[in-house]
Every structure is written in C-alpha cells, then in structure tokens.
Amino acid sequence: MAPDLNDSQFIRRVLIVIGLVVLTYLAWSLRSVLLMVFGAVVVATLFQSLAAQFQRLRVPPGVALALSVITVFAIVAGAAAMFGAQLVSQAETISQSLPKAWASLQQRLAGVGLSQQLSHLTSTGPTSGIAASAGRFAMSLGGGLADALLIIVGGIFIAASPSFYRKGMVKLVPEQRRALVGDAFADSGKALRLWLRAQLLTMAGVGLATGLGLWLVGMESALALGLLAALLEFIPFVGPILAAIPAVLIALAIDPQLALWVAGVYLVVQQIEGYLLQPLLQQWAVDLPGAVLLFSLLAAGTLFGPLGIIFAAPLTVVIYVMVKRLYVREALDTATPIPGEDKPADA
C-alpha cells in the first residue's frame, strides 16, 4: 500500500490538479489567440528562411532579417503596382458576374425542370450548411485584416529573436528533458521551413498554370482567378474547389462549352499539381499522409473556425514531427525518419 500523504503533500497535489484544470480551461478559451501565435510562428519561419539566404552572403543576422522583411514587402508592393489596377478591375468583374452567373444557372436548370430541386437543395439540404460556412469564411477573411496585421507583426518580433522564445518554451519542461524537447523544436522548425518552401513553390506553379490556362481558353479575369487559385492552394483539399467554383459559374453564364473548358483547366492543373509538383517537392519536404491531412483539416476547422482551416496544414506538420520525435522515437524506442534530417533513421 502507498504511504499516507501528509497535509502539505495533499494540498500540493490538489493545487497542481487545480492549476492544470485552470490552464486547460484558459487554453481552450484562448484557442483562437494561440492559433494566431502559431500563425506568427509560421510567418517568422518564412522570414527566417529568407534571412538565411542573405546570411549565406555573410550578411549579419539582424541586417539579413531586415532585408528579408523588406524583400517580402517590396515584392508585394511591386506586384500591387504592376497588376493592382488590373486585379481590382477583374475582382470587381468577378463580384458583379457571380450573381448573374447564379441566376443563369437557375434559368438553365429551370429549362430542364430542375429549378425546384436546386431551390430545395440550397435552402434545406446539406448544401445550405456548406453555403453558410463558405459565407462565414468569406466574411471572416474580409474582416480579418487586423488579425493578419497582428500575425505579421508578431512574426517579425519572433523572427528577430527566435532563440529567446524557444528557450522560454523549453524551460517549461523538466530540466532532464529540456535537451530532448529543444531537439524536437529544432526538428519541427526545420520541417516547417521545408514545407513552406515546397508550398510556396506549389502555389506559384498552380497560380501561373491556372492563369495561363484560363487565358488560353478565353476566360475573362484570368489574372485574378489565377491569383485566387494560388492563394487558396495554401488550404489543402478545400482550397482548389473554392478557387474553381467562381470561375466555372462565371463561364457557365457566358457559355456552357466555356464552362467545360474552364473546369478542364482546373482539373488538369490539379492533376499536374498532384502527380508532378507534389511528388517532386516532397522528396526534400514533408510528405504528410493524405488521410492525416484531411482529418486534421476537419478538426482544425471545427476547433478554430476559418483561421484553423488556413493554418491546418502547417500545424499538422509541426504536430506530425513532434509525435514522431517525442513519442515514436523516445517513448516507443522505434526508429522512424524525421523530415529534414541529413541522415534519417531506417523506417
């Protein structure tokens, strides 16, 4: 039998339990803020990756970070100066064309006797929930500029002194485990950098291919739709579908044959992305299992809302590496490869 606890030990354990319950409640209540902190970490990783390229030229770390921030903002500003007016014009065209496209779709379906089924499906069926979710997602994106600015500024602060924040996190664990947790943080950070590089290249490739393909088939607003496809490519599974819907609807309002061509463009681009770009880039990045990424997207969307959907993939990368490093390798003593290792262990 276990020895009897004295009053001080009992009180200490009760206080620990109460503290853990309070921390859990606070973490749940502040989960959106914690996700924004993670978003700032993702932004900091992006700036640090770019700063590392400047440091290869023997630029001091502080100057390299400043150059990386200036470079990112210069690229955005340059793109806005070169294509801003055209993008705004095409975005206005898309926003004005979508209601007309939806009305045209209803008229075409009414011609074949399917208007009642469409109205019933969009008002009471599962599609209504999807439409409502898409509307809330669009409103959240439109009203999230302040959050985005906060995440970017926070990312710059974290990128300025990442070791300070990493050491602070490591100090929260027992001293005998700090080296292990520090290595796990380093592994997850490296995997996140590799994933970001691969994802940015994929987004650029998808955006260029989509814009070029739409332009070749004679689709209006090809530049804006290509940019939309590139941005939404950051969201796995759902992003490409959301990018294709407005283009197909607008094309359908113009000509059903054009709609088929537009749908074909998105289908071909996704095939190229899935069978060419991703396999090539995942050779040196993080190859996440599809089922894990899919269910993590659903879980993040349920827990955190639209912001969770945006950051579901990088969050899954970090959790995936931490589980492999801390649980599979250390707790289970099973060899497993860690993304980004120079000499990965045998699987």
Closest of 295, 298, 305, 236 to residue 31, by C-alpha: 305
CA pair distance 218, 235, nearest whole angstrom: 27
- What's the pLDDT at 59? 87
Asked if 266 contacts 241 with a C-beta cutoff of 8 angstroms, the reply is no
d(CA 115, CA 292): 38
Q: Where are the beta strands (DSSP E) in 175-244?
A: none
Domain ranges across the chain: 30-331
Could you give the angle at the alpha carbon of 284 between the alpha carbons of 153 and 213, nearest 5°?
Answer: 75
Output the pLDDT for position 327.
Answer: 87
pTM: 0.77
- What's the pLDDT tens digit per position in 157-178? 999 888 888 888 888 888 888 8
Q: What is the pLDDT of residues 170-212, one digit of tens each?
A: 888 888 888 888 888 888 988 899 889 888 889 999 999 999 9
Give pLDDT, residue 343.
45
Decide: 63 and 50 in contact? Cβ < 8 Å: no
The pLDDT confidence band at residue 86, using thresholds 50, 70 and 90, is low
Crossing angle between the packed helical segments 178-216 and 312-322, to the nearest 10 degrees: 150
Q: Is 313 exposed, middle or buried (0-12, 13-18, 19+ CB in 10 A)?
A: buried
Of 314, 276, 271, residue with least CA distance to 293: 314
- Residue 213: pLDDT band by 50, 70, 90 thresholds? very high
Q: What is the pLDDT of residue 96?
A: 67
Across all residues in the chain, what is the average pLDDT?
Answer: 80
The pLDDT assigned to 143 comes to 52
User: C-alpha angle 9/10/15, rounded to 5°?
Assistant: 100
pLDDT at position 110, please? 63
State how far the Cα of 197 lies from the Cα of 211, in Å rounded to an integer: 21
With a cut of 70, say whether residue 115 has pLDDT above it: no
Query: Does the structure show a pLDDT above 90 at 264?
Result: yes
78-92, 215-229, 268-282, 323-337: least confidently modelled range = 78-92
Least confident of 90-99, 152-161, 241-250, 265-274: 90-99
Assess whether pLDDT exceeds 60 at residue 129.
no
